[in-house]
Amino acid sequence: MTDPRRLTLILNGKAAQQKNVQDAVSAIARQGHRIDVKVTESPGDGERFSREAVKAARRGEIETIVAGGGDGTLNAVVGGALEADTDPACSFALMPLGTANDFARNAGIPVDPAQALDIALTAPARATDVASLKFDDGQKPRPFINMATAGFGPRVTSEADPDLKARIGGAAYLLSALARIGEVTPWSGRIRADGFSWEGSFAALAIGNGRRAGGGVELCPLAELDDGALDLTVIEAPEGDVLAGLLSSLPLAVGLKPDSVIRARASSFEVETDSLIPVSLDGEMLEARRFTLSVRQHAIRFHLPDQPPPR
Q: Which residues are catalytic?
A: 284
Residue 95 in contact with residue 116, Cβ under 8 Å?
yes
Longest CA–CA span in the chain (Å) reads 62
Output the DSSP codes for 155-188: HHHHHS-HHHHHHHTTHHHHHHHHHHGGGPPPEE
Task: Give the CB-side neighbour count of residue 229, counting CA atoms within 13 A.
Answer: 15
Task: Report which residue type is found at 303.
Answer: H
Output the DSSP codes for 106-156: HHT--SSHHHHHHHHHHS-EEEEEEEEEEESSSPPPEEESSEEEEEHHHHH
Task: Give the CB-side neighbour count of residue 79, counting CA atoms within 13 A.
Answer: 24
